[in-house]
Structure formats: C-alpha cells, structure tokens
Chains A and B, each alone.
Chain A
Amino acid sequence: SAVISQKPSRDICQRGTSLTIQCQVDSQVTMMFWYRQQPGQSLTLIATANQGSEATYESGFVIDKFPISRPNLTFSTLTVSNMSPEDSSIYLCSVEDTGQETQYFGPGTRLLVL
C-alpha cells in the first residue's frame, strides 16, 4: 500500500485563524479523501478531493469552511478556516487507487483550537 504522510502531525491554534493540512502520497493515486474525527467520535467524510477540479463535499461541509486543493495525483491540502473550538478534531486523509478497493489512511493531524 502507499505511504501517506500528513503535515503537521498536531497543532494548537487560536480561534479565528486558519490552518492548512497537507497530505502527501508516495505514489499516484486515483482518489483522495478527507475525514474528520471529533473527540471520542467516529470518522465523518468531509469531501472527496478531485484532481484538477473542485472537491465534492458531503452534507454539512462547505467549501468556504474547508477549502481543499488537489493539484496532482500525489498531493492534497485541507484548510480549516476561521476556526472555533468545535473544530478541534483529528483530520485524516485517505487514498484509494483504481483496483485496490480499499482506502488507506494517513497518520492524521490532531488539531486543538483554543
């Protein structure tokens, strides 16, 4: 499976600021996704990052709050904008390549908003 890295691994931010999380894969992959895991909760899909076009957002998530970029087949970013304490979560990217039928996850970014 692909090796996936995320930066930063953790951060503490002030409310009202924005943070950009990077996801890097060591090989080209077809699909990339961003998930949020709030404290003590399960994972919720934020959006599918589409290469060369706008991301596809799930219900309850909007581009203004979570802008996503995917400039190529190995890299994506998720920005958490105008943060509030409710945004404190683990943010995980995942990848799936054609034919793999399985999503593999990055190590996650632990975000605490004060």
Chain B
Amino acid sequence: AQKVTQAQTEISVVEKEDVTLDCVYETRDTTYYLFWYKQPPSGELVFLIRRNSFDEQNEISGRYSWNFQKSTSSFNFTITASQVVDSAVYFCALTYNAGGTSYGKLTFGQGTILTVHP
C-alpha cells in the first residue's frame, strides 16, 4: 500500500521568509512518481512538479526548489523569499510507475496549509 505523510498541518510565515514543506512517502514499488500540487483558495489544483523515482536530482524553478532523497523517502519543497501569493494548501502525491507509464492513481498527503503574512 502507498502512503504519503505531510506532518505539517499548518505553517505561518512572514513575507520574504524561506519555508520548507515536508513530505514523506511509503511504497513497496521500486518505480514511482512523486508530485507537488498547489491549491489556492479558488480550489483548483495546480501542478507544480513531477519527479521519477530514478531521478534524485534536486530541482530549482525560480523561488521554488525540491529536494528528493530516496534514502529517507522524502520529497521536500522549499519556497525562498515567500510572498503573500504563495498562500495556499500544498499537497504531495505519489503514484505507481508501471513500466515507464504512470499508473494514474494518485495517493495524496493530507496537505499543508501555508499562510504568508505581509
């Protein structure tokens, strides 16, 4: 069975602070995909990043960076110099990778509510 744990229920920071959202996963599969999604107050789920289990390179995209560590089954997300517009619920998710094709079924963590104060 797959499981995703986001231990931080809520985080509150002041604008320009750096913030890291933690994600720990469990899976018996040797190949899988990990994701981060953002859900602003409007409710839509916005895709941020996908990482294949074979690719442990960290990634940076503007103020966003992701640290994937297979040894600790973690896929953490850091926002540098946070802004009020970053306020949202952030979900980490996991899916099985079946021979190079995504299995499709996403298992989500409980989400972390991030509030950035001006």
What is A's interface to B at a CB cutoff of 8 Å?
Answer: 1, 31, 33, 41-45, 48, 58, 90, 92, 94, 96, 98-108, 110
Contacts and interface: CB of A to CB of B under 8 A. Distances in A.
B40 to A, nearest CB: 11
A42 B110 contact: yes
Nearest to B107: A45
Given A101-B52, A105-B44, A110-B43, 15 more contacts: A33-B105, A33-B106, A41-B110, A42-B91, A58-B105, A90-B43, A94-B45, A99-B101, A102-B33, A102-B35, A105-B37, A105-B46, A106-B44, A107-B43, A108-B45
28 contacts: A1-B47, A33-B104, A33-B106, A42-B91, A42-B108, A42-B109, A42-B110, A42-B111, A43-B108, A48-B104, A58-B105, A90-B43, A94-B106, A98-B101, A99-B101, A100-B102, A101-B50, A101-B101, A102-B47, A102-B50, A102-B102, A103-B35, A103-B102, A103-B104, A105-B45, A107-B42, A107-B43, A110-B43
B106 A43 contact: yes
A98 B47 CA distance: 17
Interface string B65-101: 0000000000000000000000000010000010001
A36 to B, nearest CB: 11
